[in-house]
Amino acid sequence: MRKFYKHLIITYNYFMFMMSGKHCLHGGSSINAFGGDFSSVGSKDVIRSDVADASYDPAPEVSEMIRNHTTWLLRNSSQIHSEGLIETISNTRGIEKENIAVGGGSSNIMYVIFQNLLKIGTNTVTLDPMYGEYQHLTENILNGSVKRAKQVKDNGFKIKVGDILDSISSKTDIITIVNPNNPTGQYLGKTEIEKLLGEIPENTYLLVDEAYNGYIGKKESMEKSASEYENLIVLKSMSKEYALSGVRVGYASAHKNVINKISKFLPPWGIGTFGQLAGIMALKNEDYYTKIISKTKDIQRKFISEIGRIENLKPYDSACNFFLVELMKNDAENVRKTLASKNVFVRNPRSQSTHLGNDFIRITTQSEEQNSRILSCLKDIKPL
């Protein structure tokens, strides 16, 4: 009966927020530049640096397979529970199938975890700044509270295990970490995550969102270790490093008891045929992604250096394909709107933090040609 009332409250809260239009604030408004009916899809005039999507294409084998079988993929139902994708994840990542759950993007699995593993009034510890969906789930869906471990500009927004430990208590239900972090691009290494696990209570979940792990290397991932801990959940998105944002593929790696609890709430056909096939083919072509990510990081180093030469702008180093830029004599919303008027879109990350204020923008690295256009537009903005 208690579970029934819990799900009734969660469903009511979710319905009320859907009706009110109060969702977590994300970037991505640039998609509207292509028209609500996608009539201008593919236009090269729009630069989408407000989202953290890859600037490169998926592996050629992914596109070729989909191109060769498009009509078949459109009219045929996918595997009910993505069995082939799970098998491929298991084989390529060295994780037992019983420790894997897949869904329509990591956001899909994230909602299932919060709504079915955690309680009403849950207490969450999170980083600040950080991707805002975890705060939204805690406060607006579960009527809970959030304690923030702040990273500050004075030390380049580095994440410190001690700051996280200082933020938790015996009442903390879950710690959520995007690692590497969005929007800062800073991260905790595997050894530091293991240290954190050794210090927190066994009944406190640690959720490590590794959406951008490909930018720091598989050796830093906790996905293979997750089966050893009953309180560790590792979320993996195939959107970013695999350039598959449009088909929504994600998975969780965790102890089999955790996977059993959440899998029953993941719907059948949660990933379509395009997503399942794209995910399988991408995982089988890791060499391509290793090389293209290395090239992207080289392009970004040059891009950050060039932005650093622009007066009144201070870029911060990042391990990911995006980075923060501090505005010395301007404000983020003015810069965002000015650039958007030229079809160049960047993110104002103010909603991801309680202390960034209106002093930063987040830019996602694009091709060298597009980066040059962003630089030109930034140079043209007059100080306030």
pLDDT digits (tens, 9 = 90+) for 181-228: 999 999 999 999 999 999 999 999 999 999 999 999 999 999 999 999
CA distance 276 to 269: 10
3-state secondary structure of 220: helix
CA distance 295 to 57: 13
Round the CA-based radius of gyration of the chain to a whole number and report it: 21
pLDDT tops 90 at residue 153:
yes
Higher-scoring residue by pLDDT: 330, 38: 330
Task: Single out the residue of 117, 115, 114, 188 nearest to residue 149, CA to CA.
Answer: 188
Q: What one-character DSSP code corresponds to residue 347? A: B
377 Cβ contact partners less than 8 Å away, ≥ 6 residues apart: 338, 339, 342, 344
pTM assigned to the model: 0.93
Q: What one-character DSSP code corresponds to residue 140? A: I
Token readout for 222 is: 């906790």
Would you state the pLDDT for residue 42?
Answer: 76
**In the beta sheet, which residues pair with residue 249?**
none
pLDDT tops 90 at residue 8:
no
* 304: Cα within 13 Å, side-chain hemisphere: 20
What is the phi/psi pair of residue 332, to 5°?
Answer: -60, -40
The pLDDT tens digits of the residues spanning 330-361 come to 999 999 999 999 999 999 999 999 999 999 99
CA distance 81 to 102: 8
Q: What is the average pLDDT across 132-146?
A: 96
pLDDT classification of 310: cutoffs 50, 70, 90: very high
Please report, for residues 126, 157, 162, the alpha-carbon distance to residue 166 in angstroms, rounded to integers and kept in the order given. 12, 17, 6
pLDDT classification of 12: cutoffs 50, 70, 90: very low
Task: Single out the residue of 170, 171, 164 nearest to residue 119, CA to CA.
Answer: 171
Domains and CATH numbers, the chain: 8-58+287-378 (3.90.1150.10), 76-285 (3.40.640.10)
Would you state the pLDDT for residue 384?
Answer: 78
Q: What is the average pLDDT across 221-248?
A: 97
Site of tokens 């991408």: 282
What is the phi/psi pair of residue 63, to 5°?
Answer: -65, -40
Would you state the pLDDT for residue 15?
Answer: 45
Q: What is the average pLDDT across 301-324?
A: 98
Would you state the pLDDT for residue 16?
Answer: 47
3-state secondary structure of 346: strand
Q: E-strand spans in the chain?
A: 47-49, 100-103, 123-128, 145-150, 174-178, 205-209, 232-237, 250-254, 313-315, 322-327, 344-346, 360-364
Would you state the pLDDT for residue 32?
Answer: 86
Would you state the pLDDT for residue 3?
Answer: 56
Residues 150, 171 contacting (CB under 8 angstroms) = no
pLDDT tops 80 at residue 160:
yes
Would you state the pLDDT for residue 18?
Answer: 44
Please report, for residues 7, 9, 10, 111, 345, the alpha-carbon distance to residue 15 in angstroms, rounded to integers and kept in the order given. 12, 10, 8, 14, 31
289 Cβ contact partners less than 8 Å away, ≥ 6 residues apart: 59, 214, 241, 242, 282
pLDDT classification of 321: cutoffs 50, 70, 90: very high
> Amino acid letter at 224?
K
What is the phi/psi pair of residue 88, to 5°?
Answer: -70, -40
Would you state the pLDDT for residue 202?
Answer: 93
Specify the range with the lowest mean pLDDT, choosing from 27-36, 102-111, 153-162.
27-36
Task: Compute the mean pLDDT over every residue in the chain, rounded to the nearest whole number.
Answer: 93
**CA-based angle 54:267:15, to the nearest 5?**
85
3-state secondary structure of 202: coil
Would you state the pLDDT for residue 95?
Answer: 98
What percent of the chain is modeled with pLDDT above 90?
Answer: 87
The pLDDT tens digits of the residues spanning 245-301 come to 999 999 999 999 999 999 999 999 999 999 999 999 999 999 999 999 999 999 999
Task: Single out the residue of 364, 335, 330, 338 nearest to residue 348, CA to CA.
Answer: 335
Task: Single out the residue of 32, 31, 28 nearest to residue 51, CA to CA.
Answer: 28
